[in-house]
Structure 1
Amino acid sequence: MDSSRVRVIVKSDVFGEAEIYPAKPPKWASQFRHIVELFGKRFGDIIAAKITIESSLPVGAGLGSSAASAVAFTAAYGLAYGIQLPASEVSQLAFEAEKLVHGKPSGIDNTVSCYGGTILYARNEGFKPLNVNLPPSVKLVIADSGIQRSTAQAVSLVLARKQKLGKLGNMIYSVARELVLTAVDALKKADIELLGELMDVNHGLLNAMGVSLPELETLVHRARKAGAYGAKITGAGLGGTIIALVDADKIDRVVKSLNEVAARVYTTSINSPGLKYD
């Protein structure tokens, strides 16, 4: 079907509407075109479709908006073929699309977008769902610096600094891995205070690797001063957002403080669902 047209509509003040096949898509829609081509290779044909993606996530802010969009598009486009792809296949296709956007993505964003909840992820080991029973009063506060950044740029910067630091760079990576395992144990034990401290340590490591900015440091400092258990950069850094672990009785104070300097502030829970077919 050479005359097929696959169109994606992103209801966004930033992107608007774009045709992605057979016309060459704009850069922001290139990952959707790649997904369409992967479907074509698998099924031997390109199916015409018009897909609308709605999202309240800021773009380029370290919240995985590109992965979430890729997951949603992949699942929706599968329906055009009359199939509900399992989460494992959706995640893999979205991961392939993420490579176009980020160069060398970790695979975390597409995995969490598909499966939801809390996971332990390692590039060479896959993911493992974690049974986490944190008090319902514990929330995540997300503050957007308003600075868009490139994940690929941040990843390249970190890799270059790691190489430049030599053994010290390897040590920082080792500490980061150990920190993750300690955080998993804290999550399982619902040790919120330790988890917050580990977030602070992780932020320090990210700062040491060069991906923090004065604006991010201000947000992290304000969250901690207002009563958060801990706060850190989320995503690749060089802009984007920070997350803070906050108890219900301090939510208002933390949000108020962050709102004074952040572009946007959100509050969410930790165990949110992933991909769902309605």
Structure 2
Amino acid sequence: MRELATGQANGKIILMGEHAVVYGEPAIALPFSAAQVTATIQSAPEDWLDSSYFSGPLTKAPTALNNLKELLHLLRHDFATGPVICRITSTIPAERGMGSSAAVAVAVTRAFLAWQQVEETPTGLLQYVNTSEKIAHGNPSGIDAAATSGTEPILFERQQPFIPFPLNLDGCLIVADTGVKGKTRDTVADVAHLMSVAPTATKQIITRLGDLTREAKTAISANQSYHLGNLMNEAQALLQQLSVSNGTLDHLVQVALNNGALGAKLTGGGRGGCMIALASDPQSAAIIANQLTAAGAQETWLQALGCRPAVSAWL
């Protein structure tokens, strides 16, 4: 057992296919390493949690952290350890569709396994993370756990195995936070209402969003960043027709396009949360990010994609 051990995890974004995935179409999730969680584990006189959300004895942590409390209890039970102090730092905003809860569970589990000097396996890691996610979200798809612990894009469909594929794309992705919590429950319900009152037109939109997602996978694999940008733009127009965007998201999307983005769209549930934009190079990405901040984005992140060096090398 080490004195102190560290674990990390990425954020995640939905690149394409949100809402359509509810109706059996594919979606693409992308690990987003520009936003990360780091956790440390070490022995302590009593179980203790230190984070920006809560700092104190684990027994007094609020109910919103029950998933994390149960995860630590399970890990301690399985490895028969004494009390621990768990410290968590994160640059992933909560409730923005970026996989915050899953990333925390991944980072904590990795730190605990490293502390016990136990080799991490994908299956073992995901078992612990999905246990935490079930407490946090009831019946999670598992995509957040897979994306925040992985390094490749994932194509996923309901009740189908996840399909990782290479990120072979020049360019840079910008994520901008509107500062407003996403309203996934509301938007999913409203799309369902549209499906009931206007089934033919709504089904056509959903089917086209699925087609765009499949084309996006091909574009990513073939390093076709300009084509991917066009697909993102069409997807945003369709999501607007489904009423899941809003004025703030539409405004930030337009700001990105006006400043050289190849494509831009909302990501996740919509009516809040984040939007994403694709830039051709780091210099363009920096300009777009600055303009998004000037237009009201609360925070921006930049990530180089598969054919470029890490973002920290050029910013």
Please indicate the TM-score interval, normalised by the length of the shorter structure.
Answer: 0.7 to 0.9
Residue 113 (structure 1) aligned to one of 107, 124, 148 = 148
Q: 1:8 — aligned with what? A: 49
- Deviation of the 1:197 alpha carbon: 1.1
Q: 1:276 — aligned with what? A: none
- Is 1:209 the equivalent of 2:245? no
Q: 1:269 — aligned with what? A: 304
**Is the Cα contact below 8 Å between 1:179 and 1:202 reproduced in 2?**
yes
The amino acid of 1:124's aligned partner reads: Q
Q: 1:255 — aligned with what? A: 289
Alignment of 1:127-276 (within 5 A): 127-135=162-170, 138-149=171-182, 151-248=184-281, 249-260=283-294, 261-271=296-306
**Is the Cα contact below 8 Å between 2:49 and 2:55 reproduced in 1?**
yes
The amino acid of 1:17's aligned partner reads: S
> Deviation per CA, 1:228-247, whole angstroms, max 9, x where unpaired?
01011122222111110001
Q: 1:73 — aligned with what? A: 108
**Is the Cα contact below 8 Å between 1:103 and 1:152 reproduced in 2?**
no
- Deviation of the 1:44 alpha carbon: 8.3
- TM norm structure 2: 0.73
- Deviation of the 1:27 alpha carbon: 3.5
Distance 1:131 1:216, change over 3 A: same
**Is the Cα contact below 8 Å between 1:18 and 1:29 reproduced in 2?**
no
Q: 2:98 — aligned with what? A: 63
Q: Which runs of 5+ in 2 are unaligned?
A: 1-44, 311-315
Distance in structure 1 (CA, Å) of the matches to 2:140 and 2:193? 16
Distance 1:114 1:254, change over 3 A: same
Distance in structure 1 (CA, Å) of the matches to 2:167 and 2:82? 41
Distance in structure 2 (CA, Å) of the matches to 1:92 and 1:165? 40
- TM norm structure 1: 0.81
- Is 1:32 the equivalent of 2:68? yes
- Deviation of the 1:163 alpha carbon: 4.5
Distance 1:44 1:188, change over 3 A: closer
**Is the Cα contact below 8 Å between 1:49 and 1:80 reproduced in 2?**
no
- Deviation of the 1:152 alpha carbon: 4.5
Q: Which runs of 5+ in 1 are unaligned?
A: 274-278
Distance in structure 2 (CA, Å) of the matches to 1:123 and 1:81? 35
Give SS of 1:244's match.
strand
Distance 1:47 1:180, change over 3 A: farther
Q: Which moved further from structure 2: 45-54 or 62-71? A: 45-54
- Deviation of the 1:116 alpha carbon: 1.6
Residue 157 (structure 2) aligned to one of 122, 126, 133 = 122
**Is the Cα contact below 8 Å between 1:162 and 1:209 reproduced in 2?**
no
Distance in structure 2 (CA, Å) of the matches to 1:150 and 1:80? 38
The amino acid of 2:284's aligned partner reads: K
Give SS of 1:131's match.
coil
Distance in structure 2 (CA, Å) of the matches to 1:175 and 1:102? 29
**Is the Cα contact below 8 Å between 2:54 and 2:61 reproduced in 1?**
no
Aligned residues: 262
